[in-house]
Amino acid sequence: MSQQSISLTDGPVEVVGAVSIKANSRFVMPWRLPCAELDLYHESLVDRASVPAGVRLVFVSDTSRIELDVEPSGVQAHYDLLIDARLHQRIDAAETTGTVCFTQLPAGEHRLEIYLPQSHPSRMAALRIDAGASATPWRGDRPRWIAYGSSITHAVRAAGPSETWPALVASRFGLSLTCLGFGENCHLEPMVARLIRDLPADYISLCVGINVYAGSLTGRTFRSAVIGLISIIRERHEQTPMAVVSPICSPPRESKPGACGMSLQDMRREIAEAVERLRRRGDEHLHYVNGLDLFGPGLAHHMPDKLHPDAEGNRRLAQQYAKIVMPMLGLEPA
Amino acid sequence: MSQQEIALIGGPVDVVGAVSVDANEQFVMPWRLPFDELDLYHESLVDHASMPAGVRLVCVSDTSRIELDVERPGAEALYDLLVDASLHQRVDVSETDGTVRFEDLPVGEHRLEVFLPLGMPARISAFRIDAGASASPWPDDQPRWITYGSSITHARQAAGPTEAWPAMVANRFGLNLTCLGYGGNCHLEPMVARMIRDLPADYISLCLGINVCCSESLNERTFRSAVIGLIAIIRERHARTPMAVVSPIRSPPRETDPGVAGLSLQDMRREIAEAVERLRRHGDEHLHYVDGLGLFGPDFVHHMPDLLHPDAQGQHALAEQYAKTVMPMFGLEPA
């Protein structure tokens, strides 16, 4: 069947969940940082932000097939196609020649969402659908949810990009996700606080602490950084429901202080105290969540390295998150 | 001679150089943080912010004498009186009964500035001048200068509060100083960045690094990001205010040892220079990098008995170098 090429920038396709999009004559690449000022962020954060966790291409079409030309990754890079919010097909770009083909789409017009890999940058050169197929923007007006955090929010170990816990929770609650989970790079930097502050958001989750364990902040600077992060975000999201989640279980780090001088138990106390102090000052839309309630020792078997939930662990974490955190934000399943 | 009491709030006396003033029935206390949200700052920073370095009481009067009732501290706490910007008298309140007395003021109306102690909180319960003496505000339209930094900007080693290097530089250039030097507590916190952003300022100096080095409170991963973040936040409301970012002055034991956090002073100077350079490349032409070694390098180490803090003489040397090196970057000439 012959095909038509659809613009990735000014056409019916929306790139959703990115902070910025680098578009040039060769490719379109979503970033989870502002791509015009990457030099103001640490190189290691920039590296993780080049990976489009939670980013997806969204449009409505009656095409029977989608082809996406991408720069070959060399390593596993899963693309998920969701049709009307259900997983239709998962393709590893590393097993292709550079074209991700989704086939056998059901007849009729449907909302199509292509989740980009949560493990590898995505530079896309072309998107093609059936010649003569319809292609229109999806006018979904879903509330926006920003989830900031570490590798646990980045969720590289999920079975696929639509099965990370943030994607699962967003899908279940009908939210438009912006995932700012940056593996090893959740250091509560003021530049990231400003970035979140300046993004549109209806709900915000911050899962902070685990990356700091290695000493990037200490007993002197950690609680101040939590308070600073929240205060900066609040400058433009004064009443946005916000959950601040302390580290989930990581058995080797629970009571043993890291180079930061704090154990995970210490960190949970510091985060709870930061939230409590801001609540005492009137911030009633701010909520503390103990990470152990989301993923405690009882789920440690879903955490082979005792740090990162595996594929099943992501599903379990999503369930717990849906049960505990989302109601605090005032949300019920869609 | 009989005396009259002058209100410290709502009267002719201005409390200048503080961030906030806690005024209650018992006393007036200047703070170098917003005193109504101290719980949002680290306890150790709060402790140092309770010391009114650079804060002064200013008025115009023809009194021959000033008395100040203060809570008597257990340790040395020097109060300086400047008359028309020249030091008239220095009093250590720990050697008094709790009343600071400045005497023999020259005849006629003069600008009077009582500089509060560098290293002890000042809780002032009364301010008295001669009965019948005049007392009016001194409208301070000098440009405002904020200096943020560590113990080196706090400068408790100075001979007295008017001989801390920030006070001397401000005096020489006719600037209204707000000193945000906090001994041991310059950790570039975003809350401090916001506070500086929200204060009025015509010139801003940031002297960064030494406390982070000594306490390893940030590391290779977070230090440069914190410098960029601090400046970027301040710039949100001071888009074009001339700003100098000063790297650590010399401290021989720390120059090359990277410690656990992976940052020697030499590393920090590079990181700070790089942060400034990147922001300048993004168009910030009012931002200037100053190498701390150019202000207080190996030649001055004899003025640094603990190899970290300039002593009383060192303050004068540092003020001299600062006046020569940094202030011209602001386009400032001695007043």
Q: Which tokens belong to A315?
A: 């599903």
pLDDT tens digit sequence for B252-267: 999 998 888 889 999 9
- pTM listed for this prediction: 0.96
Q: Does B232 have pLDDT greater than 90? A: yes
A201 touches chain B (CB under 8 A): no
Q: pLDDT value at position B284?
A: 98
Which residues from chain A sit within 8 angstroms of residue B279, using beta carbons?
Answer: 40
Among B81, B87, B141, which residue's Cα sits nearest to residue B112?
Answer: B81
Alpha carbon separation from A19 to A53, A126, B109, B161 (Å, rounded): 11, 21, 62, 49
Alpha carbon distance A324, A246 (integer Å)? 13
Contact between residue B122 and residue B74 where contact means Cβ atoms under 8 Å apart: no
Identity of the amino acid at B174: G
pLDDT tens digit sequence for B108-139: 999 999 999 999 999 999 999 999 999 999 98
Q: What is the DSSP letter of A301?
A: G
- What 3-state class would DSSP assign to A40? helix
Question: Mind telling me how many Å the CA of A42 is from chain B's nearest CA?
Answer: 7
Q: Does B335 have pLDDT greater than 80? A: no
pLDDT tens digit sequence for B7-52: 999 999 999 999 999 999 999 999 999 999 999 999 999 999 999 9
| Percent over 90 (pLDDT), chain A | 96
Considering only CB atoms, A224 lies closest to which of B191, B216, B219, namely B191
pLDDT tens digit sequence for B100-113: 999 999 999 999 99
What does chain A come to in residues?
334
Q: Which tokens belong to B181?
A: 């030097």
Alpha carbon distance B228, B208 (integer Å)? 12
- List CB contacts of A146: < 8 A, sequence separation 6 or more: A178, A180, A196, A199, A201, A203, A204, A205
Which residues from chain B sit within 8 angstroms of residue A44, using beta carbons?
Answer: 221
Alpha carbon separation from B281 to A189, B288, B329 (Å, rounded): 21, 12, 18
Q: pLDDT value at position A72?
A: 85
Which residues from chain B sit within 8 angstroms of residue A262, using beta carbons?
Answer: none
- The average confidence (pLDDT) of chain B is 96
| Percent over 90 (pLDDT), chain B | 92
Among B313, B88, B197, B170, which residue's Cα sits nearest to residue A193?
Answer: B197
Q: Does B73 have pLDDT greater than 90? A: no
Contact between residue A203 and residue A144 where contact means Cβ atoms under 8 Å apart: yes
| Dihedral over alpha carbons A276, A278, A280, A284 (to 10 degrees) | -100
Helices (H), chain A: 43-49, 151-154, 165-173, 190-197, 222-234, 264-280, 291-294, 311-328
What does chain B come to in residues?
335
Q: Does B197 have pLDDT greater than 80? A: yes
Over its C-alpha atoms, chain A yields an Rg (Å, rounded) of 20
Q: pLDDT value at position B140?
A: 84
Which of B182, B222, B279 to mutate against chain A (most A CBs within 10 Å)? B222
Reported as a pLDDT band with limits 50, 70 and 90, residue A61 is: very high
- List CB contacts of B274: < 8 A, sequence separation 6 or more: B224
Average pLDDT over every residue of A160-175: 97
Residue of A nearest to B187 (CA): A221
Q: pLDDT value at position A332?
A: 87
A186 touches chain B (CB under 8 A): no
